[in-house]
Copies of this chain bind each other. A is one copy, B any other.
């Protein structure tokens, strides 16, 4: 049995490395547990044929339900899950998630991310969660795209109202 331990250790090492995504080029780490966060909204985009879910951590959900999102509070994190849109196999007129495209995040910390409107941006590509961006300047692309919603704290998502 002893002889098998190093093999087991290597196997475990590989298993762990498969779950630990590298940080984004601006130093942001993949937020823990975002799969379990609650729903803020859903979107579909016809320009790139994707369907999306926006989730929020507890701080973000509380802010959304209290209607206090302009500005969003420090500590709020928004997670956008993006899939290619594909035709549902049993409902011709329905689009459902196909291949996973990326998970992207906005992390509110007014002090830390003062240079980018108080938000830290990061994105991880695909199921393998490869960090997006060659270097830290990738965030200028994020900020540029979000500029149309600068006056509502840089956030496109309108949190849904649910009964």
Contact = CB atoms under 8 A, between A and B. Distances in A.
A160 B83 contact: yes
Nearest to A86: B158
A93 B44 CA distance: 8
Interface in A50-95: 51-53, 55, 81, 83, 85, 88, 90-91, 93-95
B44 A160 contact: no
Interface in A122-154: 124, 126-129, 148-149
A81 B127 contact: no
A3 B87 CA distance: 63
A95 to B, nearest CB: 5
A149 B88 CA distance: 11
Give the oligomeric copy count. Answer: 2
B35 A81 contact: no
Interface string A13-38: 00000000100000000000001111
A86 to B, nearest CB: 10
Interface of A: 21, 35-39, 41-47, 51-53, 55, 81, 83, 85, 88, 90-91, 93-97, 100, 103, 124, 126-129, 148-149, 156-158, 160-163
Given A44-B95, A47-B93, A124-B163, 14 more contacts: A36-B38, A37-B38, A42-B96, A43-B51, A43-B88, A45-B95, A91-B148, A91-B156, A94-B156, A96-B158, A97-B158, A103-B163, A127-B163, A129-B163
